[in-house]
Amino acid sequence: MTEKFGKQFREKYFTSIDPEVYPVNHGSWGQAPDPVIQKFKQASGEQYHYTDKFFHDIRDKYTDALKQLSEVVNCDYHNLALVDNATTGVNTILRSYPFKKGDKIVMQSNVYGSCYNVVKFLNYRYGVEYVEIEVNYPISDDEILQKFEKVFKEEKPTMCLFDTISSMPGVIFPFKQLVNLCKKYDVVSLIDGAHGIGCIPQDLSEIAPDFYVSNLHKWFFVPTACALMYVDAKQHHKIHTMPISHSYVQDDVKLSEEQELNRLIDRFSFIGAKNYASVSVISDAIKFRNEVCGGEETIYKYCNSLAKQVGEVISKQWGTSYLDQENLISAMVNVEVPCESLGIDVAAIKANWTRFDQTVYTPSIDVHKSFIPCVVHNGKLYARFSCHVYNELSDYQHAADVLVKVMKDSLELEPLFKKLTI
């Protein structure tokens, strides 16, 4: 039987969260429940009982974790690898892929900053070109897809990089349709699914991209740092570990059938000495999700309906709007901050973000213990609320009040933010 989610669930299973904190920002760093953290601590020291045996056996432990994850995302475990985080996964793919000078990568304008920088690096170092597609919300999935299709036709890119759920604002991107569009135009698809597994349902056999990376330490309750990387079988030989290590084989080396099948596991299970505690507790995270939370569907339903409720209630509380197209909301929702009624100039915030950080974020984190990430997008300031099973509506009502209070206070500290009235 599933237990009641919300604050009482937090008090029972998430006691590592400071009880004075209003944890409404799961999306940035993730969070893990007590039973998983306990196992993680144990696992961190496990290698020291008998280091030789630990590292001798690591491939089996690693493969076991892949097998369990392959059931969650419905794909052949031979197409999976574990890396430290989404940034590493995206780097691994982009910096391995055999681009030639003049090849083009297409991406959305709100692609995650660290991934954008990898593309800029490829541009600077190897002359790989990139095309950025402007995506400003509110915009429909169809409009987004039309924009990409136009660029696919005109620019004939090699690869397209896009999100499952974008970071800021935190909205679902039409990634399934975009994979299909990539197939139609023979473009390699790379999905940044940093917010993927554990947040929205993921069926990799159905989506069938070329490449996909998803953090396990964000929404899936695996402690940091751990992410899953999916590589379609036809792309295995092009992808190399980062760093390149003992297991390196050139793209064109002919392997036996069995070696070919295990190409990713043989490469990625060991790339140098590191702590494998996150890998060791993947099964514990799955167990907690299934046995205590009631399974993926139950978790998703709770988080998604709470996010919708938060959008509804907080936008009313603030007298503003939220990004509410049905297909945008996952376990995160973006509500417009009432800058107009507070007399705050959104453009000034955008131009002086460091001051916003100092005058709004710092007191939110240090004094009020209630942090909501914000973004200036399409002329509005949005607050991104994240919802997980340990949250309930009152968390957001409180956090929303705190944000308004610190924003009012910021007007005293930073006159630049005051909207000029004529």
Query: Which residue ranges make up the site for ligand PLP (CB under 6 A)?
Result: 28, 85-87, 112, 114-115, 163, 166-167, 192, 194-195, 215
Q: What is the DSSP string of 394-405?
A: HHHHHHHHHHHH
Q: CA 262, CA 141: separation in Å to the nearest integer?
A: 37
**Beta bridge partners of residue 165, listed in sequence order:** 172
For residue 53, the minimal CB distance to ligand PLP (Å) is 31
We find the least distance from the C-beta atom of residue 236 to ligand PLP, in angstroms, to be 22
CB nearer ligand PLP, residue 25 or residue 320: 25
Tell me how far, at minimum, the Cβ of 58 lies from ligand PLP, in Å.
22
Q: Are 32 and 221 in contact (CB under 8 A)?
A: yes
For ligand PLP, which is the closer residue by CB, 242 or 261? 242
Q: Min. distance of Cβ 163 from ligand PLP in angstroms?
A: 5
Q: For ligand PLP, give the closer residue by CB, 119 or 194.
A: 194
| Cα–Cα distance measured from residue 222 to residue 333, given in angstroms and rounded to the nearest whole number | 23
Q: Closest by alpha carbon to 265, among 89, 84, 77?
A: 77
- Tell me the closest approach of the beta carbon of residue 237 to ligand PLP, in angstroms: 25
Q: Which is nearer to ligand PLP, 164 or 391 (CB)?
A: 164
Residue type, 303: C
User: Which residue, 26 or 263, is less far from ligand PLP as judged by CB?
Assistant: 26
CB 219, min distance to ligand PLP, A? 11
- Both tokens of 329, joined, read 């909301």
Nearest to 400 by CA among 372, 380, 419, 422: 372
How far apart CA 335 and CA 382 sit, in angstroms, is: 5
Q: Which residues contact 106 (CB under 8 A, 6 or more apart)?
A: 130, 131, 133, 148, 151, 152, 155, 157, 159, 160, 161, 187
Query: Which CB sits closer to ligand PLP, 33 or 89?
Result: 89
Give ∠ CA 387-391-393 in degrees, rounded to 5. Answer: 90
Single-letter residue type at 237: H
Residue 138 DSSP code: S
Among the residues of 74-194, which ranges form H helices?
86-96, 113-126, 141-155, 175-184
Residue 194 or 207 having the CB closest to ligand PLP = 194
Q: Least separation, in Å, of the C-beta of 196 and ligand PLP? A: 9
Q: Report whether 225 contacts 84 (CB < 8 A).
A: yes
| Residue 163 β-bridge partners | 192
Give CA–CA dist 196/161, Å, rounded.
Answer: 15
Which lies closer to ligand PLP via its Cβ, residue 79 or residue 215? 215
End-to-end Cα, the chain, rounded Å: 61
**Minimum CB separation from ligand PLP for residue 202, in Å?**
14
Is residue 5 within 8 A of residue 366, CB to CB? The reply is no
Smallest separation, CB 234 to ligand PLP (Å): 25
**Residue 397: CB minimum distance to ligand PLP, A:** 25
Residue with smaller CB distance to ligand PLP, 263 or 377: 377
- Decide if 198 contacts 218 (C-beta within 8 A): yes
Closer by beta carbon to ligand PLP, 120 or else 184: 120
Q: How far is 12 from 33, CA to CA, in rounded Å?
A: 9
What is the DSSP-derived secondary structure letter of residue 415?
G
